[in-house]
């Protein structure tokens, strides 16, 4: 006679409750919210009848005309500011992070000091970092601003949306504040590499440059490519830096705004339907773009096992 296994009901009930919380949270705050936002893009609220009326694809047509056809120069400028995040993140921050992680791995002189300098921005709140950075460049009493004023006679309101220096400084802040996160991950990936491979390269007379690009980089390429994709995802979600440094509305004339900041601005100003359409429009553009980048990276980057 086969003895039936006794079911541990308390254990199963505990697991079910834990899973239920995560599932309910996902259904309410992701599925419902996004589905509701999707539906709102096709309706318009009539203040006279206090009812939502069918609005069709009018919002998407307006966004297309404003952005692609250039009907609204401000939308075009916001899109340009967002697209600049792609080269800044993937071709400035990421390579600098790799070089920094490699030299920290090589135990260069003062490497511990550099490690602290690189990692401090990652440990502090981005709000604190933005306040410190803005203070340094303050046109009235900032030390960097005063130095440039006394030395070169430059008297500039650096973060004014009317000034051409605003967005470059926003991206400069992004580089300074964003290095630590990538360095931590890349340094961890380099530290896990088999020492036998590195020692074999040294025995063959491999120099620092060849070791960096022909041994270390190929072996950590899976981590590098993952950070590349994460950096690409930031193109349409870059808003906190310009908002903290230049204003919640993208400055006086909105020139320092981005796509994500524009969505937030419309949401906080009672334009929820327009914000939903704007976000959905760029999601439809961004998702294929991200998938294309991922497909290209998977084709170019071999899978490394060690």
Buried b (16+ CB within 10 A) or exposed e, 35-67: eebeebbbbeeeeeeeeeeeeeeebbebbeebb
Residue-range definition of the domain harbouring residue 186: 61-300
What is the per-residue pLDDT across 131-186, written as a single tens digit (0 to 9) for each? 989 999 988 888 998 898 888 888 888 888 788 889 999 999 999 888 888 998 99
Average pLDDT over the chain, rounded to an integer: 86
pTM of the model: 0.83
Whether residue 225 lies inside any domain: the answer is yes
The answer as to whether 173 is a domain residue is yes
In the DSSP assignment, the letter for residue 237 is S
Of 99, 95, 116, 106, nearest to 227 by C-alpha is 95
The gap between the terminal CA atoms of the chain, to the nearest Å, is 50
Query: What tens digit of pLDDT does each residue of 180-217 get?
Result: 889 989 988 998 888 888 888 888 888 888 889 988 99
Look-up of token digits 């290209």: 296
Residue 11 lies in a domain: no
Domain total of the chain: 1
pLDDT value at residue 44: 87
- The domain spanning residue 100 has which CATH number? 1.10.3720.10
């Amino acid at each position: 006679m086969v003895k039936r296994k006794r079911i541990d009901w308390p254990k199963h009930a505990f697991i079910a409750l834990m899973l239920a919380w995560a599932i309910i949270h996902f259904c309410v705050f992701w599925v419902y919210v996004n589905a509701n936002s999707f539906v709102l893009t096709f309706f318009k609220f009539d203040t006279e009848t206090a009812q939502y009326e069918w609005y069709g694809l009018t919002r998407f047509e307006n966004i297309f005309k404003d952005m692609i056809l250039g009907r609204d120069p401000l939308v075009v400028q916001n899109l340009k500011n967002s697209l600049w995040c792609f080269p800044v993140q993937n071709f400035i921050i990421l390579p600098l992070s790799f070089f920094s992680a490699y030299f920290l791995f090589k135990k260069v002189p003062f490497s511990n000091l550099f490690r602290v300098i690189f990692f401090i921005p990652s440990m502090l709140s981005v709000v604190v970092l933005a306040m410190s950075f803005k203070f340094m460049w303050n046109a009235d009493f900032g030390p960097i601003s005063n130095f440039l004023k006394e030395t070169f006679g430059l008297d500039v309101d650096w973060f004014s949306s009317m000034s051409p220096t605003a967005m470059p400084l926003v991206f400069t802040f992004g580089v300074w504040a964003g290095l630590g996160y990538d360095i931590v991950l890349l340094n961890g990936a380099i530290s896990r590499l088999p020492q036998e491979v590195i020692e074999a390269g040294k025995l063959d007379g491999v120099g620092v440059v060849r070791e960096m690009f022909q041994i270390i980089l190929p072996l950590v390429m899976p981590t590098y490519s993952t950070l590349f994709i994460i950096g690409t995802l930031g193109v349409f979600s870059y808003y906190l830096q310009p908002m903290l440094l230049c204003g919640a509305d993208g400055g006086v004339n909105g020139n320092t705004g981005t796509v994500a900041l524009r969505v937030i601005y419309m949401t906080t100003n009672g334009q929820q339907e327009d914000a939903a359409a704007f976000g959905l429009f760029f999601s439809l553009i961004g998702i294929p773009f991200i998938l294309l980048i991922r497909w290209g990276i998977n084709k170019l980057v071999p899978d490394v096992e060690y």
